Amino acid sequence: MSFSGEVKEELGDQLSDARHCRIAEAAAILSMCGSIMIDSNDRYSIKIHTENLIVARKCFTLLRKTFNIRTEISIRRNLSKQNTSYWLLVKKHEEALRLLQAAKLLTQEGDVLEELSIVRNTVVQQYCCRRAFIRGAFLVSGSISDPEKSYHYEIVCSAKGKAEQLQKIINSFEIDAKVILRKKSYVVYVKEGAQISDLLNIMEAHVALMKFENIRILKDMRNAVNRKVNCETANINKTVSAAVKQIEDIRYIRDTIGLENLAEALKEVALTRLSYPEATLKELGDLLTPPVGKSGVNHRLRKLGEIADKLRQNKEVHYD
């Protein structure tokens, strides 16, 4: 099972003790995958469609325990696409009306809100209800990538209004959710690992949160080690390249004018570098008599480099 599937399985087994939180979660599910049917007598019925058994089971339980509504369930299997669709039906007008009123999906005049967007935010006023709403929305149309590969959390919405409202609810937890248009859908997404961790905590997916954090810690440690190794490798390469250039310059001076024509201090460091090609500046300094610091050694080697460059260009050279 994918990590996203594990999160949904954990969320599907949860049922809040507070009725107002269950209503908020039911409102999110209805908004994301519900549709309203009105017959010629202005009587309502509700249809909820999902291809996820976890969502179907959770919705059935929510409606039964929160509203005492027993939905009819229809199952359809598509052999060509190898998937299964679940349809939950609330056929009784009184039950459908009670559910829509509780979820604040009706206007004050009693009309169904366009695209089932919850514009009256009373259903998500409380902190705990906003958590439940996010949980319901993710359960229906959310996904989260495998944290071993990347950090990406998203919830797909059918309408811009739904996406913007969900973004606002998520951002109320100090999380920087963004909205993007993907084909005909609006996607609310978060890509920062620490914020996805916060979202798992907000949705109360605590088992998945622990797994996510363990993976994130290991990835951060690996990245830190890799950065350190890369930095050390770069420093080693830089040191080796500098030493090779220094030896080339010293050999050129030796073969051109002879090291004996150099000032004593330059001659000493040149001979020491030839004898100890892999030594660091500090090690070279310790080998000199008297010992010289890193900056002093570096100054002498730079002077040797300048002499070699001038010799290559046939310029006048001062050997001191």
Query: What is the pLDDT confidence band of residue 119, given thresholds at 50, 70 and 90?
Result: very low
Residue 145 has pLDDT above 90, yes or no: yes
Are the CB atoms for 162 and 30 separated by under 8 Å? Answer: no
Percentage above 90 pLDDT, the chain: 45
Angle at 296 between CA 229 and CA 255, to 5 degrees: 90
63 φ/ψ angles, rounded to the nearest 5 degrees:
-70, -35
pLDDT digits (tens, 9 = 90+) for 172-230: 999 999 999 998 899 999 999 999 999 999 999 999 999 999 998 998 888 888 888 88
Query: What is the pLDDT confidence band of residue 107, given thresholds at 50, 70 and 90?
Result: low
pLDDT digits (tens, 9 = 90+) for 283-306: 888 988 899 898 998 899 999 988
pLDDT digits (tens, 9 = 90+) for 265-279: 888 998 998 998 888
Distance, CA of 293 to chain centre:
47
Are the CB atoms for 284 and 294 separated by under 8 Å? Answer: no
* 205-214 own/partner pairs: CB under 8 Å, 24+ apart: 205/7, 205/10, 205/11, 206/10, 207/6, 207/10, 208/3, 208/6, 208/7, 208/10, 211/3, 211/6, 211/147, 212/3, 212/147
Count helices and strands (H / E) in the chain.
Answer: 11, 8
pLDDT digits (tens, 9 = 90+) for 6-62: 999 999 998 999 999 999 999 999 888 888 888 888 888 999 999 999 999 999 999
pLDDT digits (tens, 9 = 90+) for 150-170: 999 999 998 888 899 899 999
- CA-to-CA distance for 133 and 93, rounded, in angstroms? 25
17 φ/ψ angles, rounded to the nearest 5 degrees:
-75, -25
Q: Using CA of residue 272, residue 273, residue 278, residue 283, what is the dihedral sign?
A: positive
Residue 243 has pLDDT above 90, yes or no: no
